[in-house]
Amino acid sequence: MKHLRILYVLLSTLLPCLCYDPAIECMNGIRTDIAEFVFAGAEELDYWGSLCTHNLSVPSMYAATKLYCTPKEIEAGTKMLGEYCIEYGNVSLVPYAEVLPSLTDDFIASLQVVEFTDIDATKIWNNSILISSKFAEAGRKTTGTFQMQYILHARYGWAVYGFWGGILVIGMINRLSNYILQRRCVSSTKDVESTTSSTKARTSTSGPFAAIQSIHHWIRANLIIPAAFGSHHQRLLWWCNIPTRMETVIVTAFWILNLILCCISYDIFYPNLYYTEAIQAWRYISDRTGIICYANLPILWMFSGRNNIFLWLTGWSFSTFNVFHRHVARIATIQAIVHSIGYTALEINYDSLAESWKEQYWYMGGMATITMGLLLFFSSIFFRRKSYEVFLILHIGLSVITIVGLFYHTAIFDGEYNGYLWPLVAIWSFDRAARFVRIAFCNLHLKFSRTPMTTSAIASYDANSELIRLDVTPGSSILKPVPGQHYYLYQPLRWKGWENHPFTLASWSAVDNKISEPTAGTQREANGKEKEIHVTPTEAASNDSSSDVATSSQTTKPSDQAKAGRTTLSFLIRPFDSWTVRLRNECLKSPSGSIKAQILIEGPYGERSPLHTFENVIFIVGGTGISGALPYLQEFVNTTTSQSTETSRVPMTRTRDITLVWVTRQPAMIHDVARRELQPVFGRDDVHISLHATKPKETPPAPKIVNTEKSPNAIQELEISYSRPNIRETILNVVNRVHADGSAGGKIAILTCGPASMADEARAAVHTALKEGKRSVEYFEESFGW
């Protein structure tokens, strides 16, 4: 234990690597050599008292200093040692100038020369000694190597920031270039009905630009789009998430980098004044893994938050950063375990393990390692899927315990490692503060001399469609929803009011400042009035379920929204477990099936996919995943109506053909959405809809929905196929048809939002198209998951 106490003192003085001067190592090594000998009369003195003031040890140290050190090294060494004596021993070093006159050649020649092999803790020396030149070199190498190891530990810790900095810079450059190309693409659209000139401009490539396009296509076809192996990405494989190939390349490279950094540049030698060769390896590996573990923590925390600034700087999804977050966590935890095992081995070697557990820095470090292991265990996909709320509470609680434990663990270094830990507090605080700001932004609107407007919500449940329709009117009048957004929903007055869950925005409509509440069997118009939907039964015309749906151009115009000021946001929710099931049960208790819910929303999160820059768009959606497509369809209708103007917030669009494939279990859900959000797109020549229900066909006749403002003849048959669609065939048919038209066919965007199997099938189809050389295909995936 004596050896470790000395080394901890030494370590606390050596860690400030930026001001390290190698010139100190000559005298630093000599004083380390002298400290191994016990001189007569020094038994009662402590380490620094004997080294700095004793009448035998001081001449011994200065005699070797005079022989083996340069004047520069003597100056740097005496300054260093003088500071150590005062700071750690509370004694003053006998000045070198005071002893120098007695260090004559005869005096030095009279001293007994000692070697490394003469070290004997039981022997008492009654006279000064002279260490040999080899012994002095061993001391210099011992202290110098110890110092350089810590410099390397710190540098290798910074290497992880270099790695992620490079990855993020590439992501930001890619996002900027895509933004510029999209702006150029939209600005060149003078007539959405005629895109020939712009299409030719995009497809006529030669020289370096053609080579760049070929490289970009190869990267997309072989790295960005496909899963790491097979077709599993959203689906689990052996209870494991499978990232894309690009994500796999990045995390694999990071694993390799950390493995290399923890395995290289260890200078292990004999004789070493501190350790045997085996103990040197344990010590240096333990310190290296501990420091790199600390270095990984800010990255780990940064990638975990929903307000991570790199989400919008790179345009990458939360799921992508979550993949990075999980792998950084695994690496850091393994490094913490190796660090703990290594120091345990050191303490066992010195027979002081039991004593170490009495020290605060030791048991707090052990606690932090244990909590990091528990975090890893309880973050498995099994716990996340079975009980997300329990996982979340444990995740937050154990993370806080880990941070506290690490602060205490390295408190003995006087804040040397706090630079790794305070960013964790800052990142977490920023994320929580940003959440509160978003909540206030969405739910509260203050007006001078008037009562503040707050958020109101109506939740209704339809047992036939097994669907909760939640209409939220935020208190804010400046909230401007766009496609691709999702919001976190809270019920703050419930006993689990902290729970919040993300839901994709399905649609929105403008309302006036006087809030009107929708009721069952009505549909809100843009002016705030409600029109009745008449429902009458009709017989099915074929094996497929069919109903007649009136076409309508009724949509919410951006200009109307600007006049109204406030907006109602609609969410389609399938009761699954926990919060959604409780909300359904509350609706069932109401005779009307609808309730006024106390809801707060936090957002908006997510961003608009640039579908308006593609001539052809394919939506592949399942269940309530229709929410991912509806806002884009609503925007498309708004953009292509005669009322849209160039001053609208809705972007100009190139899109001229849309294919919607929707699969859900209940036909009732299809009918519900068809007579509401989907109504404006029926009957359009540029929108092709394929509807599928997987629940066995019911015997009652399908409903007939008639728009009373239209002629009874202005209807279109709505066919529902009771089978699963061939997603791959649907996508490839459209891609091949467009590709056959050449440059006039334009680009194709495929957006999926729905079950994991559907998304994986769509991704595989896009990968096939890209591998076949079809460059004009882009894939977008609306998903959120831990």
pLDDT of residue 382: 87
pLDDT of residue 707: 46
Kindly state the average pLDDT of the residues 734-760.
Answer: 91
Of the residues 131, 161, 194, the one at which a domain ends: 131
Residue 519 sits in the same domain as residue 411: no
Residue 120 sits in the same domain as residue 32: yes
The gap between the terminal CA atoms of the chain, to the nearest Å, is 45
pLDDT of residue 230: 84
pLDDT of residue 566: 83
pLDDT of residue 129: 96
- 227-263 per-position pLDDT tens digit: 988 888 888 888 788 899 999 999 999 999 999 999 9
What's the chain's average pLDDT? 85
Query: What residue type is assigned to position 372 of the chain?
Result: M
The residue to which tokens 């209409």 are assigned = 471
Q: CATH number of the domain that 741 lies in?
A: 3.40.50.80
pLDDT of residue 697: 67
pLDDT of residue 385: 83
Which residues make Cβ contacts (< 8 Å) with residue 435, sequence separation at least 6?
A: 306, 307, 602
pLDDT of residue 646: 47
Kindly state the average pLDDT of the residues 522-544.
Answer: 35
Q: Looking at the predicted structure, is the pLDDT value of residue 703 above 60? A: no
pLDDT of residue 785: 55
Query: How many domains, the chain?
Result: 3
Kindly state the average pLDDT of the residues 125-135.
Answer: 96
- Which has more confidence, 468 or 204? 468
Residue 535 sits in the same domain as residue 676: yes
pLDDT of residue 643: 44
Residue 123 sits in the same domain as residue 249: no
Is 504 among the domain residues?
yes
Q: How confident is the model at residue 186 (pLDDT cuts 50, 70, 90)?
A: low
Query: What residue type is assigned to position 319 of the chain?
Result: S
- 277-317 per-position pLDDT tens digit: 999 999 999 999 999 999 999 999 999 999 999 999 999 99
Is 207 among the domain residues?
no
Residue 725 sits in the same domain as residue 645: yes
CA distances from 704 to 142, 521, 587, 667 (A): 89, 14, 26, 13
pLDDT of residue 577: 78
Is 672 among the domain residues?
yes
Q: How confident is the model at residue 406 (pLDDT cuts 50, 70, 90)?
A: very high
Of the residues 382, 402, 437, the one at which a domain ends: 437
Q: Looking at the predicted structure, is the pLDDT value of residue 145 above 70? A: yes
Residue 463 sits in the same domain as residue 401: no
Q: How confident is the model at residue 698 (pLDDT cuts 50, 70, 90)?
A: low
Q: Looking at the predicted structure, is the pLDDT value of residue 649 above 60? A: no
Is 193 among the domain residues?
no
Task: Please state, for a pLDDT cut of 90, what percent of the chain lies above it.
Answer: 67
- Which has more confidence, 472 or 16? 472
User: What is the per-residue DSSP string for 544-601?
Assistant: SEEEEEE-------HHHHHHH-EEEEEEEE---SHHHHHHHHHHHHSTTSEEE---EE
Residue 692 sits in the same domain as residue 741: yes
pLDDT of residue 784: 59
In whole angstroms, what is the distance from residue 643 CA to residue 714 CA? 22
Q: Looking at the predicted structure, is the pLDDT value of residue 518 above 50? A: no
- Is residue 715 helix, strand or coil? strand
- Which has more confidence, 331 or 45? 331
- 565-592 per-position pLDDT tens digit: 689 999 999 998 788 999 999 999 999 9
Is 219 among the domain residues?
no
pLDDT of residue 537: 32
Q: Looking at the predicted structure, is the pLDDT value of residue 731 above 70? A: yes
- 18-68 per-position pLDDT tens digit: 468 899 999 999 999 999 999 998 877 788 999 999 999 999 999 999 999
| Residue-number span of the structural domain to which 124 is assigned | 2-131
Is 271 among the domain residues?
yes
Residue 358 sits in the same domain as residue 259: yes
Residue 159 sits in the same domain as residue 104: no
Q: How confident is the model at residue 712 (pLDDT cuts 50, 70, 90)?
A: very low
Is 651 among the domain residues?
yes
Of the residues 62, 97, 131, the one at which a domain ends: 131
Query: What residue type is assigned to position 29 of the chain?
Result: G
pLDDT of residue 514: 41
Residue 239 sits in the same domain as residue 155: yes
Residue 763 sits in the same domain as residue 726: yes
Most confident stretch, 15-19, 288-292, 385-389, 703-707:
288-292
Residue 99 sits in the same domain as residue 160: no
In whole angstroms, what is the distance from residue 632 CA to residue 636 CA? 6
- Which has more confidence, 785 or 222? 222
Is 311 among the domain residues?
yes
pLDDT of residue 450: 61
| Tokens describing residue 623 | 């269940």
In whole angstroms, what is the distance from residue 257 CA to residue 241 CA? 22
